[in-house]
């Protein structure tokens, strides 16, 4: 299999004015864009005007520089004195060059409603106006902006007026729901609430999530829900009364499209129970799978539509998905595989894989505690992992170079090793493994010395800085790191953050090949914003004989729920139980890690 190109990322809404959009080069403009973003957020927050101005001035200074400041910092040169950039801002510049972001910006973003930043991309709205909309009217997202405009409330806010209100409504409606994809984990809970709500409407026989959410894609554009009910049932009217529905875009008797308060679009379709299966196949998609199925039907002399499989105008299957697939001579195909990537041929030949199931995971090999940047203690994490059905959990704190995450040095790690030994002696039903998420430094060396790493059960290596190296440099860096004798797993290999940071520019086939030769594993990091490696890349890694480790990268006890999205992505990658490292029992894993001899029981 040829490794396909990395899928394009949505533009980075995080840095609306950045020239770095879509690329990862950290240059003067990139740093300036982060500072402008901070200034915008401070302004919306109604912070001190001098503080806001300091960031704007610094951004201007950076854009006017005639040399590449980021590069010179990356080379280890000290920062020259620049007008308007004092110690504090110089520190932030270092942080941005080192990590690609700034903790102040992340903090500001997390304290403001998530949809608020989207308002800045609407023509006519700058931070000052957004501040007024937010503080005076409580407008927190695009959907609420539309609502307020329709109700004529915006015109009364100082600095707006009637014309401005009409212009904003138009601009907001044009931009609504377009080109925005978010991590699946953000959509799944609300989709569940909505389907449960729909199921309670009297007369509703079935309500299911469809679309990309049912196929468990890493990112989702909108939520699609399919309901089975007799035509007499008032499903749409009930649906739009749901308290989370904020704007109704389309409303008919059998369909509705709405925007929720969070800005998410939901498409609802209501069909008669007799055609529910055919409709579910259609609305689950993907479009490519649908087209391929329809072509197959045509080759067999039938017709497939959202109403069923028809032979000579007679409907031969429509009530269930299984019946529809059977009528086409196929076994039922699980939604995760419906991407027209060979699943129809495999189904036809009865060669569909026995996909990994959530219950197959026996452990998790990447997690943090309070000792670095996690939110819970060792014991709390251990008990939560046991509660999640796991047999073992590797504690992998950050290493010393990652100061923003309070990375551990040799002393801190020694202390944790002792704590883990003590806890393991007392814990029942869960074993903690001693690990580290060691920083891969710019040149590919690891952030802690060999004698320290050698004391651990496993070493997870990760990139957290210098995202903008050339493809050759970045590839060499990772290859060098993986060459290290204690290296076990390459964590989040591409370092992408959905909607925030593009994937690293690396020669992934070379990395996968090296992992195969060196016996390293690659991670499928299941943190909602990461989901890294991607599905197709995991599939390619499998074909090259590389084991994948599905890890939560949990920072708090609730984060073990990430694993279900990781398993779903692995299923999309056609992975079976044996393709995944942490489906091994603790004993098997210990053998793999050479902690016990291969023959020991």
In the bound state with Ca ion, the residue whose beta carbon lies nearer, of 245 and 410, is 245
Total residues contacting ligand DGT (rule CB under 6 A)?
13
Q: Is 337 in the site for ligand DGT (CB under 6 A)?
A: no
Q: What totals of helices (H) and strands (E) does the chain contain, helices first?
A: 24, 17
Quick one: 49 or 248, whose CB is closer to ligand DGT? 248
Least Cβ distance, residue 122 to ligand DGT (angstroms): 21
- To the nearest whole angstrom, how small is the minimum distance from the Cβ of residue 212 to ligand DGT? 3
Q: How would DSSP label each residue in 263-317?
A: S-EEEEEEE-GGGHHHHHHHHH--HHHHHHHHHHHHHTT-EEETTEEEETTEEEE
What's the closest the beta carbon of residue 286 comes to ligand DGT, in angstroms?
5
Q: Which stretch binds ligand DGT (CB under 6 A): 147-155, 217-225, 414-422, 488-496?
A: 217-225
Nearer to ligand DGT, 266 or 541 (CB): 266
Regarding 96 and contact with ligand DGT (CB under 6 A), the answer is no
- How far apart CA 139 and CA 119 sit, in angstroms, is 9
When binding is defined by CB under 6 A, the residue of 222, 397, 532, 535 that contacts ligand DGT is: 222
Q: Yes or no: say if 94 and 79 are a contact pair by the CB < 8 Å rule.
A: yes
339 is an interface residue for ligand DGT by CB under 6 A = no
Contact pattern for ligand DGT over residues 173 through 212, marking x by CB under 6 A: --------------------------------------xx
Query: 321 or 559, CB closer to ligand DGT?
Result: 321
Among 98, 100, 115, 285, binds ligand DGT (CB under 6 A): 285
Stretch that binds ligand DGT, among 285-293, 341-349, 461-469, 534-542 (CB under 6 A): 285-293
- As to burial, measured by CB atoms within 10 angstroms (0-12 exposed, 13-18 middle, 19+ buried), residue 301 is exposed
> Is residue 277 close enough to count as binding ligand DGT by CB under 6 A?
no
Please tell me whether residue 305 binds ligand DGT under the rule CB under 6 A.
no
Q: Are strands 219-220 and 431-439 parallel, antiparallel or unpaired?
A: unpaired
Q: What is the 3-state secondary structure (H, E, C) of 536-586?
A: HHHHHHHHCCCCEEEECCECCHHHHHHHHHHHHHHHHCCCEHHHEHHHCCH
CB 234 within 8 A of CB 198: no
Q: How far is residue 310 CA from its own chain's centroid? A: 40
Q: Pick the closer one to Ca ion by CB: 18 or 212.
A: 212
308 binds ligand DGT (CB under 6 A): no
- The residue with its CB nearest to ligand DGT is 285
Stretch that binds ligand DGT, among 109-117, 122-130, 163-171, 279-287 (CB under 6 A): 279-287
State the DSSP H helix or E strand holding residue 460, giving kind and residue range, or none if neither: strand 460-462
Of 187 and 392, CB closest to ligand DGT: 187
Helix 142-150 crosses helix 162-175 at what angle (to 10 degrees)?
140
Q: Which is nearer to Ca ion, 211 or 261 (CB)?
A: 211
Cα 220–Cα 225–Cα 229 angle in degrees, nearest 5: 175
CA 418-420-423 angle, 5° bins: 110
Contact residues: Ca ion, CB under 5 A? 211-212, 222, 224, 267
Which is closer to ligand DGT, CB of 287 or CB of 415?
A: 287
Evaluate the omega torsion of the peptide bond into residue 286 and state whether it is cis, within 30 degrees of 0.
yes
Could you say whether residue 287 binds ligand DGT (CB under 6 A)? Answer: yes
Q: Six-digit token pair at 162? A: 């009637």
Rule CB under 6 A: choose which of 113, 221, 435, 503 binds ligand DGT: 221
| Residue 335 binds ligand DGT (CB under 6 A) | no
Check if the beta carbon of residue 513 is closer than 8 Å to that of residue 539: no
Tokens of 74: 């990356």
H-helix segments, 317-377: 321-327, 343-348
Member of 283, 310, 560, 565 binding ligand DGT (CB under 6 A): 283
Contacting residues toward ligand DGT, per CB under 6 A: 211-212, 220-222, 224, 282-283, 285-287, 290-291
């Amino acid at each position: 299999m040829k490794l396909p190109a990395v899928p394009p990322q949505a533009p980075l809404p995080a840095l609306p004015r950045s020239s770095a959009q879509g690329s990862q080069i950290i240059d003067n403009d990139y740093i300036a864009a982060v500072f402008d973003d901070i200034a915008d957020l401070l302004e919306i927050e109604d912070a001190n005007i001098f503080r806001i101005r300091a960031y704007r001035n610094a951004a201007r200074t950076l854009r006017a520089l005639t040399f590449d400041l980021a590069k010179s910092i990356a080379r280890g040169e000290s920062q020259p004195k620049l007008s308007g950039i004092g110690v504090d801002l110089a520190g932030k510049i270092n942080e941005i060059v080192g990590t690609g972001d700034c903790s102040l910006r992340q903090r500001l973003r997390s304290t403001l409603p998530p949809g608020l930043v989207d308002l800045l991309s609407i023509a006519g709205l700058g931070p000052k106006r957004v501040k007024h909309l937010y503080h005076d009217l409580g407008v927190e997202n695009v959907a609420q902006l539309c609502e307020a405009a329709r109700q004529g409330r915006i015109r009364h806010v100082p600095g707006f007026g009637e014309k401005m209100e009409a212009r904003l409504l138009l601009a907001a409606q044009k931009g609504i729901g377009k080109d925005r994809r978010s991590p699946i984990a953000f959509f799944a809970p609300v989709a569940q609430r909505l389907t449960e709500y729909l199921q309670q409407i009297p007369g509703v026989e079935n309500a299911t999530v469809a679309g990309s959410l049912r196929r468990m894609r890493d990112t989702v554009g909108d939520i699609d829900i399919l309901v089975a009910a007799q035509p007499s049932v008032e499903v749409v009217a009930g649906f739009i009364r749901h308290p989370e529905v904020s704007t109704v875009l389309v409303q008919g008797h059998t369909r509705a499209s709405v925007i929720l308060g969070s800005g998410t679009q939901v498409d609802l379709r209501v069909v008669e129970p007799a055609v529910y299966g055919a409709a579910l196949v259609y609305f689950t998609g993907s479009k490519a799978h649908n087209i391929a199925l329809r072509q197959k039907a045509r080759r067999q002399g039938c017709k497939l539509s959202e109403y069923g499989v028809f032979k000579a105008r007679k409907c031969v299957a429509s009530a269930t998905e299984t019946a529809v697939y059977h009528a086409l001579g196929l076994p039922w195909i699980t939604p995760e595989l419906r991407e027209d990537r060979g699943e129809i041929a495999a189904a036809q030949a009865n060669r569909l894989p026995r996909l990994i199931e959530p219950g197959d995971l026996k452990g998790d090999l990447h997690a943090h505690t309070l000792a670095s940047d996690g939110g819970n203690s060792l014991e709390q994490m251990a008990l939560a992992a046991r509660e999640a059905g796991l047999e073992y959990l590797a504690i992998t704190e950050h290493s010393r170079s990652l100061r923003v995450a309070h990375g551990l040095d040799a002393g801190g790690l020694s202390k944790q090793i002792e704590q883990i030994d003590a806890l393991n002696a007392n814990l029942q039903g869960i074993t903690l493994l001693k690990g580290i998420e060691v920083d891969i430094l710019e040149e590919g060396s690891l952030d802690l010395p060999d004698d320290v790493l050698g004391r651990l059960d496993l070493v997870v290596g990760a990139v957290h800085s210098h995202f903008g190296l050339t493809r050759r440099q970045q590839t060499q860096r990772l290859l060098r790191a993986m060459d290290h004798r204690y290296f076990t797993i390459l964590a989040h290999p591409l370092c992408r953050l959905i909607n925030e940071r593009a994937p690293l520019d690396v020669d992934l086939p070379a990395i996968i090949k090296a992992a195969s030769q060196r016996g390293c594993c690659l991670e499928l990091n299941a943190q909602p914003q990461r989901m890294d490696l991607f599905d197709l890349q995991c599939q390619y890694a499998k074909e090259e004989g590389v084991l994948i480790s599905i890890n939560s990268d949990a920072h708090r006890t609730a984060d073990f729920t990430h694993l279900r999205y990781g398993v779903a992505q692995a299923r999309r990658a056609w992975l079976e139980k044996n393709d995944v490292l942490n489906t091994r029992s603790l004993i098997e894993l210990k053998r793999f890690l050479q902690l016990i001899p291969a023959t020991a029981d």
